[in-house]
Amino acid sequence: MTAAPIQALARLLDREDLPYALIGGHAVNTLLEPRLTRDIDVTVVAGAEGIGRLRAALEAEGFALEREFGSELPSGPDFLRFVSEPVVIEVQTAKTRYQHDVVRRAASAGGVRVASPEDLIVLKLIADRPKDQEDLRGLARLSSIDWSYVERCTEEWGVLDRLLRLRAGR
C-alpha cells in the first residue's frame, strides 16, 4: 500500500466490492482530537469467498496473515489480523445483525466509510478497555448523538450498565 494506509485499504475494499466500516481508534480520530493508534480496524460484510479475495488482495500488497479466528466456519472467519510493518489491519467479519447495521449506517469521511458516532460508542462500550474509556469520554461530548439508538443497542448487547455509567460521568 503506497498511499496513506487507511485510504489505500478503503480503495482495496471498494475494488473487491466488500462493504465495510472503519471502526476503532482511527474511526474515533475522524470525530475527535486524534490519538495514537497502531491498528486499522474494519468490519467487513463478506462470506468465505469475499474474505478469500480480501486475503489474496492484501497478500498481494505485501501483508501477511498473522492471526485468524473462525476459519473453520462455513461462513468464513470472524477475525483476521494482517501485518506489513508498521501497518496492522484487523478485519472483523460482519456476522451479527448489529455488525451489518454498523456497515450499513457508516458514512463517508475523506473517501473512507466510517462507523457512525453512535455505533462507535456501542462498540467501545462492548470492548470496555482503558483506551475505549478515553474514547468514550470524548464521544459522549458530541452534540448530535442519538442516545435512544445507543441505549437500544447497549441493552441488546447487555452493556446498558456501562452506558449509564458513561452518561453519569463515572
In this prediction, residue 156 carries a pLDDT of 94
Tell me the per-residue pLDDT of 78-134, one tens digit each, with 9 for 90 and over: 899 999 989 999 999 999 999 999 999 999 998 999 999 999 999 999 999 988 999
Mean pLDDT, the chain, rounded, equals 92
pLDDT at 17 over 60: yes
pLDDT at 2 over 50: no
Strands annotated E in 27-71: 39-44, 64-69
Domain 1-115 has CATH 3.30.460.40: yes
In this prediction, residue 137 carries a pLDDT of 93
Whose CA is closest to 104, among 24, 144, 44, 147?
44
Distance, CA of 158 to CA of 84 (rounded, Å) = 36
Ranges of each domain in the chain: 1-115, 116-170
Tell me the per-residue pLDDT of 50-64, one tens digit each, with 9 for 90 and over: 999 999 999 999 999
Average pLDDT rounded to a whole number, residues 134-157: 95
Burial call 78-91: b when 16+ CB within 10 Å, e when fewer:
bebbbbeeebbbbb
User: To which residue does cell 481508534 refer?
Assistant: 25
Does residue 79 come out as left (phi exceeding 0), alpha (psi in the -120 to 50 range) or beta?
Answer: beta
